[in-house]
Amino acid sequence: MPSSPATPAEHRSAVVDLIRDAIAELNEELDYDHLRDVSETTVIFDGDEALDSLSLVSLIVDIEARVEESFDTEVVLASEKAMSMANSPYRNVGSLVEFVLGEMSAA
Amino acid sequence: MTRTVVITGTRKGIGRYLSERYLAAGWTVYGCSRDESDLAHERYRHFAIDVADERGVAGMLRAVRREARTLDALINNAGIASMNAAVLTPMATVERIFRTNVFGTFLLCREAAKLMIPKRAGRIVNFATVATPLRLEGEAVYAASKAAVENFTQVFARELGGYNITVNAIGPTPVDTDLIRGVADDKMERLIARQCLPRMGKMEDVGNAVDFFLKPESDFVTGQVVYLGGVF
């Protein structure tokens, strides 16, 4: 089991990579153009070019499992704001990274 | 390969019966109840948790993920009842019943689905009751909590249909367990008389209905509530 990176910046970077890997694996199935080159502004769940709810759930479930495997930290990525577009932590990669980091520090 | 099932409320009653039934059929069983269990079997693992405790439930399902790597079925059997006129029912009782019956069912469903979604397969069986369609007086809170379970079962069936996961419920008649031990004989007789098939339910009746939902050929059955004994 790899240990958590030493600095906050490295820790954040590891979470970004983890989410990027999860999206890449999901997109092997979906083959969406906008998910090919993932950055922190890549939209996940925010209107027309976003994931449908089935794919979003698959992605979040996968990220929970990856966080546990990579960081040995158990998180539940449930949010009251999940489906409200404006404040959803799932609206783009950057907001999801912050959400995951917040849940990891609270765990 | 052995199939894996999570069953709640396995220390006694129907949950214990179902655990032994599926162990005998070759399944690996992860069970739970508030207290420790004396069920000893090489394919049985017990968790002493409250089904309404989010951390406890998440921890149990994570153990299933680590050890079994997969989950084929969830049987949400854990439940509590309380016989009382609604006007005389303390709020603490209402909260206790909803915590176990509704919140517990929700938490187990949510965490189990996380193991089933990646493999696009799984079976969930929740527990309803004939008290709901019979509108049993003296069971208002219990019947209402199980009505919530029924509706949740059907919405969840819609949400998980795209992942090939079925979600159904079984509504047993009274079965001779601790749950009905406090019910007076004459009341029980009147209740049973309202069934098309007027007899007390048996553990095997419940096991048979659960078997149906779990069998491979039932992959086109979801969102259904099956009441035993001819109640509708």
Find, in chain A, the residue whose alpha carbon is nearest to that of B57: A76
Instruction: Please give the pLDDT value at position A79.
Output: 73
> What span, in angstroms and rounded, lies between the C-alpha atoms of B4 and B6?
7
3 state SS of A1: coil
Burial bucket for residue A106 (CB in 10 Å: 0-12, 13-18, 19+): exposed
Instruction: Please give the pLDDT value at position B30.
Output: 98
Find, in chain A, the residue whose alpha carbon is nearest to that of B158: A54
Q: Per-residue confidence at A85, pLDDT binned at 50, 70, 90?
A: low
Binary contact (A57, B117; C-beta < 8 A): yes
A64 touches chain B (CB under 8 A): yes
Binary contact (B54, A61; C-beta < 8 A): no
A86 touches chain B (CB under 8 A): no
pLDDT exceeds 60 at position A3: no
Taking residues A39-67, what's their average pLDDT?
88
Q: Per-residue confidence at A83, pLDDT binned at 50, 70, 90?
A: low
Question: What are residue B74's DSSP bridge partners?
Answer: B6, B124
Least CB-CB distance to A61: which of B114, B159, B162? B114
Find, in chain A, the residue whose alpha carbon is nearest to that of B117: A58
Mutate to test the interface with A, among B69, B71, B117, B160 (most CBs of A within 10 A): B117
Burial bucket for residue A59 (CB in 10 Å: 0-12, 13-18, 19+): buried
> What span, in angstroms and rounded, lies between the C-alpha atoms of B19 and B9?
10
Least CB-CB distance to A68: which of B62, B110, B159? B62
Instruction: Please give the pLDDT value at position A14.
Output: 96
Instruction: Please give the pLDDT value at position A6.
Output: 66
CA dist B35 to B11, B45, B51, B181, B201, Å? 7, 13, 12, 20, 26
ipTM (interface predicted TM)? 0.82
| Six-digit token string for B23 | 């162990």
Roughly how many angstroms between the first and final C-alpha of chain B, as a whole number? 39
Q: What is the pTM of this model?
A: 0.92
A6 touches chain B (CB under 8 A): no
For residue B161, give every residue at least 6 positions away whose Cβ sits within 8 Å of its Cβ, in sequence order, or none: B222
Q: Per-residue confidence at A106, pLDDT binned at 50, 70, 90?
A: confident
In a structure prediction context, what are the per-residue pLDDT tens digits for chain B, which is 232 residues long? 799 999 999 999 999 999 999 999 999 999 999 999 999 999 999 999 999 999 999 999 999 999 999 999 999 999 999 889 999 999 999 999 999 999 999 999 999 999 999 999 999 999 999 999 999 999 999 999 999 999 999 999 999 999 999 999 999 999 987 767 777 888 889 999 999 999 999 999 999 999 999 999 999 999 999 999 999 9
Provide the shortest C-alpha distance from residue A38 to chain B (in Å). Answer: 22
Mutate to test the interface with B, among A52, A76, A79, A83 (most CBs of B within 10 A): A76
A107 touches chain B (CB under 8 A): no
Q: Which residues of B touch A62 (CB under 8 A)?
A: 118
Nearest partner of B75 among B153, B189, B175, judged by Cα: B153
> What span, in angstroms and rounded, lies between the C-alpha atoms of A105 and B18?
40
Q: Which residues of B touch A53 (CB under 8 A)?
A: 159
Q: Per-residue confidence at A99, pLDDT binned at 50, 70, 90?
A: very high
Rounded CA Rg of chain B: 17
Question: What are residue B45's DSSP bridge partners?
Answer: B30
Phi-psi region of B135 (alpha: psi -120 to 50; beta: other; left: phi over 0): left
A68 touches chain B (CB under 8 A): yes
